[in-house]
Amino acid sequence: MKKLLYFSAVVTLATLPFTTMAAEPLTHGNTGQMRPAGTVSVTGAANLDDLQTKLGEKAKEEGAKGFIVNSASGDERMFGTATIYK
């Protein structure tokens, strides 16, 4: 039982840096004081979660604090766009 607890803690701590690197997904109602600052697009995602992660990473590269997904399409190789907010 202790091994499982330690393993869970290690996995959780190991993923923290990756989750803080991407910009935060937003909704139209929670943009607060942030202003739209452009768009980003990605292609080649395996699923919707992967697409959102890739859009978040690209938004962070552009200096965004958050993003709203505008479009998503595709089957095995998804692509999408997002508006970034700074």
> What are 15-71's pLDDT values in tens digits?
444 444 567 787 777 777 889 999 999 999 999 999 999 999 999 999 999 999 999
As a dihedral over the C-alpha atoms of residue 79, residue 77, residue 29, residue 65, rounded to 10 degrees, the angle is -70
φ, ψ dihedrals at 81, nearest 5°: -130, 155
Q: Where are the beta strands (DSSP E) in 1-65?
A: 24-25, 36-45
CATH, residue 68: 3.30.1660.10
Task: Provide the number of structural domains found in the chain.
Answer: 1
What is the span of the domain harbouring residue 52? 2-85
Looking at the predicted structure, is the pLDDT value of residue 5 above 90? no
